[in-house]
C-alpha cells in the first residue's frame, strides 16, 4: 500500500521534468503523477534562468502535487566533475585528502562554491578507492533555490543530472553484466554515463540537439525556431552506405546534416570510451542505452549500433519502478526517455544509491537550521513579553522623571538653535568647496580610468585566449578605430615566450587576424561617449583538454565579474564562437561587453 509522497524536479536546458512517486512498505516506488514543460533554448543566449520561475509555475499548475518538498537535479554543464582515486585510509584522513583535492582541482575558490564527494566501489583489501568530486558556483545554485522556492516548492536535495541518471540505470538494470553506456542527448550537451559494478564515469560534450538545429539553419537559411520544428517533424539520420536516399532533395539534405552532426558525436563517444578504459580501467560497453530529448530522432539508434557495433536500446526508467493505473500510459511512453533523472532523484529517498552527492548551499542549510529553532524562539519571545509586563510599572514612574528632564532639554534646544544658525553658514561654505573638489577629482578619475581599465581587462583573459581587436562602441555603433592586439603584444603582456606562433589566418587551419596587422589607436570624436566594447579574439583548441566553448564562456564570466563591465549575461554576451574542429588549433570568437558606466574618451 502506498504511503509517503516523493517529488522530483529535473531542470534541463530546454525541458523541465517533474514526477511524483509514492513509496511502498517494500521500499519500492510507484509513479503517481508527472509533467513535462518544453521550450526552445537558442545557442549563444544565456540559460533561461529568468524564465525558470514562470516555467516552474506553469508546470506545477498543470498537476495537483501531494507535497511541495522536492529533490532537484541540475544540468552537468554548470557543474565541475572529477573522477580519480585515493589511497585507502580512515574516514578522517579521507575527508582531509578530499579537501586538498577540492582546493587543487576546483577552478574556483572553495568559499565561492558548493561541493561534495562520494567514494565509489570501495572493496576490502584494495589499495585505492575511487571517488567523484562535484562542485558548482554558490551563486548559481542559490539562484536556482530562489527560483524554485518562488514557484512554491521547497528543495531538500540537489543532485547532478548524470549522477541521478546513473542511479536510475543501476536500479533498473541491476541484472545486466558488463559495461553499459548511457547516451543522454539533450539540447545543448550530451552526457555519457558509463555504468559497471563498482564503477561510474561521466563525461559531458557540447554536441547535441542544438548542434543539429544550427546546421539546419545554415543549410536552409532558416530561423532557429523553424529549423528546430523541421528537425522534430521530419528529421532522421541518413543511414548512408548501401541505403537508398530519400526521393525529396530537402529530406536527403536534412538527413545528411543530422548524420554529419551525429558523426561528430560518435567521435566524442569513441574518445570517451578510450578515456574510460585508460583512466578508470573500464571495459568496452556491451550495450548502449539512449535517453534525452534528441535521442528520439529517427534511426539514431541504428546509427550508433552500426558505428559502435553493440546493441542499442532506449532507456526505460520504469523497468523496475511501478506505474499507477491513473497514469496515461500513452503519454508516459512519449516522455519516459526524459524521466530517468527524476527516478534517480526519488530512489535516493527510499534506498541507498551508489552515488549520493548533495549540493545544497550553506545559506539554505542555515535557513533550515533556523526553522528548527522556531520553537525555542517562541519560548524566548514569551519570556520577553513577561519581562515587558514586569517592567511596565517601572517605566511608568520613569516617565514622570523624564517629563522634568524634557523641560530642561527644551531650554538646551533653544541655545543650540542659535549655534545651528552659525553652523549653517559654515556648511554652505563647505558645500561650495566640496563642489570644486568634486570637479577636480572627476578630471583626475577620467585621466586614470583607461590605464586601469586595460590592466583589468588583461587580467580577465585566460591563458588560452588572445584578444585580436577591441572596438569601442556607443549603443552598438563603432565610434572609432579598434585596438588590435598581435600575438607578440599579447605574449609580452602575459609574460609568455617571445616565440609564440602567429595566429593562423584564413585557410591556415584556424581563425586569426591577417598577418602584419598593426595596432590601431582608439579613435573617435573628441568627448565621444563609449557604452560598450566589441571584443574579437582567438582561443586555442586542444581536443584533449578543455573545449574552447568552455574557455570563451569562462572569459565572458570573468568580464561579468569585473567592476568595469555589466554583471548580467545580457551585458556581456558571447556573440560568436567558431566550431572547434579537431584539425583547427584555434577558433575565433566575438563578445559584446557593455560597460558598467559609460565613459567619455577624450
Q: Of the residues 290, 312, 334, which one is the last residue of a structural domain? A: 312
Q: Which is more confidently placed, 41 or 196?
A: 196
User: In angstroms, what CA-CA distances link 226 with 45, 261, 510?
Assistant: 17, 18, 30
The per-residue DSSP string of 56-124 comes to: HHHHHHHS--S--EEEEEE-GGGSEEEEEEEE---HHHHHHHHHHHHHHHSSS-GGGEEEEEEEES--T
Q: What is the pTM of this model?
A: 0.61
Q: Which is more confidently placed, 181 or 248?
A: 181
Mean pLDDT of 340-344: 94
3-state secondary structure string across 442-486: HHHHHHHHHHHHHHHHHHHCCCCEEEEEEEEEECCEECCCCEECC
The per-residue DSSP string of 227-280 comes to: HHHHHHHH-B----TTSPPPSSHHHHHHHHHHHHHHHHHHHHHHHHHHHHHHHS
> Is residue 549 included in any domain, yes or no?
yes
pLDDT of res. 134: 94
Q: Which is more confidently placed, 364 or 306?
A: 306
Q: How far apart are CA 220 and CA 250, in angstroms?
A: 9
pLDDT of res. 24: 84
Per the listing, cell 527524476 goes with 342
Would you place residue 260 in the very low, low, confident or very high pLDDT band (cuts 50, 70, 90)? Answer: very high
Would you place residue 2 in the very low, low, confident or very high pLDDT band (cuts 50, 70, 90)? Answer: very low
* Residue 538 near residue 589 (C-beta atoms within 8 A): yes
pLDDT of res. 535: 95
> Is residue 34 included in any domain, yes or no?
no
Question: How many structural domains comprise the chain?
Answer: 2
What DSSP character marks residue 298? B
> Is residue 397 included in any domain, yes or no?
no
Q: Of the residues 263, 290, 312, which one is the last residue of a structural domain? A: 312
Q: How far apart are CA 40 and CA 36, in angstroms?
A: 14
Q: Is the pLDDT of residue 488 over 50?
A: no
Q: Which of 549, 542, 543 is nearest to 188 (CA)?
A: 549
Q: How far apart are CA 119 and CA 356, in angstroms?
A: 9
> Is residue 161 included in any domain, yes or no?
no
Sign of the C-alpha dihedral computed for residues 288, 341, 355 and 135 taken in this order: positive
Mean pLDDT of 280-289: 93
* Residue 17 near residue 304 (C-beta atoms within 8 A): no
- By CB atoms closer than 10 A (0-12, 13-18, 19+), residue 24 is middle
Residues 4-42 have pLDDT tens digits of 899 999 998 888 999 999 988 788 899 999 999 888 766
- Separation of first and last alpha carbons in the chain: 78
> Is residue 197 included in any domain, yes or no?
yes
Q: What CATH number does residue 303 fall under?
A: 3.30.420.40
pLDDT of res. 47: 47
pLDDT of res. 493: 40
Q: How far apart are CA 542 and CA 539, in angstroms?
A: 10
Q: Are strands 190-196 and 199-205 parallel, antiparallel or unpaired?
A: antiparallel
49's grid cell = 534562468
Q: How far apart are CA 214 and CA 271, in angstroms?
A: 23
Q: Which is more confidently placed, 378 or 151?
A: 151
> Is residue 466 included in any domain, yes or no?
yes
> Is residue 440 included in any domain, yes or no?
no
pLDDT of res. 490: 43
Number of separate helices (H) and strands (E) present in the chain: 15, 20
What is the number of residues in the chain?
A: 602
pLDDT of res. 504: 43
pLDDT of res. 592: 94
Residues 90-126 have pLDDT tens digits of 888 989 999 999 999 999 999 999 999 999 876 656 7
> Is residue 203 included in any domain, yes or no?
yes
3-state secondary structure string across 383-432: HHHHHHHHCHHHHHHHHHHHHHHHHHHHHHHHHHHHHHHHHHHHHHHHHH
Paired residues of 129 in beta bridges? 86
525's grid cell = 570624436
Residues 397-438 have pLDDT tens digits of 777 777 777 877 888 888 888 788 888 888 888 888 888 787
Q: Which of 425, 434, 491 is nearest to 458 (CA)?
A: 491
Mean pLDDT of 186-211: 92
Sign of the C-alpha dihedral computed for residues 581, 586, 592 and 594 taken in this order: positive
Q: Which H helix or E strand runs over 556?
A: helix 548-561
Q: How far apart are CA 351 and CA 82, in angstroms?
A: 25
pLDDT of res. 91: 85
Q: Of the residues 312, 335, 362, which one is the last residue of a structural domain? A: 312
Q: At what angle are helices 52-62 and 138-150 packed, to 10 degrees? A: 40
Percent of the chain with pLDDT over 70: 83
Q: Is the pLDDT of residue 291 over 90?
A: yes
Percent of the chain with pLDDT over 90: 47
3-state secondary structure of 546: coil
Q: How far apart are CA 314 and CA 338, in angstroms?
A: 11
Q: Is the pLDDT of residue 1 over 70?
A: no
Residues 42-71 have pLDDT tens digits of 665 554 555 788 888 888 887 888 899 999
- Parent domain of 489: 461-601
482's grid cell = 579598434
Amino acid at each position: 500500500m502506498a504511503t509517503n509522497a516523493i517529488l522530483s524536479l529535473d531542470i534541463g536546458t530546454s525541458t523541465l521534468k517533474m514526477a511524483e512517486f509514492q513509496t511502498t512498505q517494500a521500499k519500492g516506488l510507484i509513479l503517481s503523477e508527472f509533467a513535462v514543460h518544453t521550450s526552445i533554448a537558442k545557442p549563444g543566449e544565456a540559460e533561461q534562468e529568468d524564465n525558470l520561475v514562470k516555467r516552474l509555475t506553469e508546470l506545477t499548475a498543470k498537476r495537483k502535487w501531494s507535497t511541495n518538498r522536492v529533490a532537484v537535479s541540475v544540468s552537468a554543464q554548470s557543474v565541475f566533475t572529477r573522477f580519480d582515486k585515493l589511497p585507502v585510509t580512515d574516514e578522517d584522513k579521507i575527508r582531509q585528502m578530499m579537501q586538498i583535492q577540492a582546493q587543487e582541482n576546483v577552478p574556483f575558490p572553495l568559499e565561492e562554491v558548493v561541493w561534495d564527494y562520494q567514494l565509489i566501489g570501495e572493496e576490502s583489501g584494495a589499495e585505492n578507492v575511487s571517488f567523484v568530486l562535484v562542485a558548482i558556483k554558490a551563486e548559481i545554485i542559490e539562484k536556482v533555490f530562489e527560483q524554485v522556492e518562488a514557484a512554491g516548492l521547497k528543495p531538500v536535495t540537489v543532485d547532478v543530472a548524470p549522477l541521478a541518471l546513473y542511479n536510475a540505470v543501476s536500479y533498473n538494470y541491476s541484472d545486466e553484466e558488463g559495461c553499459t553506456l548511457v547516451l543522454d542527448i539533450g539540447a545543448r550537451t550530451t552526457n555519457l554515463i558509463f555504468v559497471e559494478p563498482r564503477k561510474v564515469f561521466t563525461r559531458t560534450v557540447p554536441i547535441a540537439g542544438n548542434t543539429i538545429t544550427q546546421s539546419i539553419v545554415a543549410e536552409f537559411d532558416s530561423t532557429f525556431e523553424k529549423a528546430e520544428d523541421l528537425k522534430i517533424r521530419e528529421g532522421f539520420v541518413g543511414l548512408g552506405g548501401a541505403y537508398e536516399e530519400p526521393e525529396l532533395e530537402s529530406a536527403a539534405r536534412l538527413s545528411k546534416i543530422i548524420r554529419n552532426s551525429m558523426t561528430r558525436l560518435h567521435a566524442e563517444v569513441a574518445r570517451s570510451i578510450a578515456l574510460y578504459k585508460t583512466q578508470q580501467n573500464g571495459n568496452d560497453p556491451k550495450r548502449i542505452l539512449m535517453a534525452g530529448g534528441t535521442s528520439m530522432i529517427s534511426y539514431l539508434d541504428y546509427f550508433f549500433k552500426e558505428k559502435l557495433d553493440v546493441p542499442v536500446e532506449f532507456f526505460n526508467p520504469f523497468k523496475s519502478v511501478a506505474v499507477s493505473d491513473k497514469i496515461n500510459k500513452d503519454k508516459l511512453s512519449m516522455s519516459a526517455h526524459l524521466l530517468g533523472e527524476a527516478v534517480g532523484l526519488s530512489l535516493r529517498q527510499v534506498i541507498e544509491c551508489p552515488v549520493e552527492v548533495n549540493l545544497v548551499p550553506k545559506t539554505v542549510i542555515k535557513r533550515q537550521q533556523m526553522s528548527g529553532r522556531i520553537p525555542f524562539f517562541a519560548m524566548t519571545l514569551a519570556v520577553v513579553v513577561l519581562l515587558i509586563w514586569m517592567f511596565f510599572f517601572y517605566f511608568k514612574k520613569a516617565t514622570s522623571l523624564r517629563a522634568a528632564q524634557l523641560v530642561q532639554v527644551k531650554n538646551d534646544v533653544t541655545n543650540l538653535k542659535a549655534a545651528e544658525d552659525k553652523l549653517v553658514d559654515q556648511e554652505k561654505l563647505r558645500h561650495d568647496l566640496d563642489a570644486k573638489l568634486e570637479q577636480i577629482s572627476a578630471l583626475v578619475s577620467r585621466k586614470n580610468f583607461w590605464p586601469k581599465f586595460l590592466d583589468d581587462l588583461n587580467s580577465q583573459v585566460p591563458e588560452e585566449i588572445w584578444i585580436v581587436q577591441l572596438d569601442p562602441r556607443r549603443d552598438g555603433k563603432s565610434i572609432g578605430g579598434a585596438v588590435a592586439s598581435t600575438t607578440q603584444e599579447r605574449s609580452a603582456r602575459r609574460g609568455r615566450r617571445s616565440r609564440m606562433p602567429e595566429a593562423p589566418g584564413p585557410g591556415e587551419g584556424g581563425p586569426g587576424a591577417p598577418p602584419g596587422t598593426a595596432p590601431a589607436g582608439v579613435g573617435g570624436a573628441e568627448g565621444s561617449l563609449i557604452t560598450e566594447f566589441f571584443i574579437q579574439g582567438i582561443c586555442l583548441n586542444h581536443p584533449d583538454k578543455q573545449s574552447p566553448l568552455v574557455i570563451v564562456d569562462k572569459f565572458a564570466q570573468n568580464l561579468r565579474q569585473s567592476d568595469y563591465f555589466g554583471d548580467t549575461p545580457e551585458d556581456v554576451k558571447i556573440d560568436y564562437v567558431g566550431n572547434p574542429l579537431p584539425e583547427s588549433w584555434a577558433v575565433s570568437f566575438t563578445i559584446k561587453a557593455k560597460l558598467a558606466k559609460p565613459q567619455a574618451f577624450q
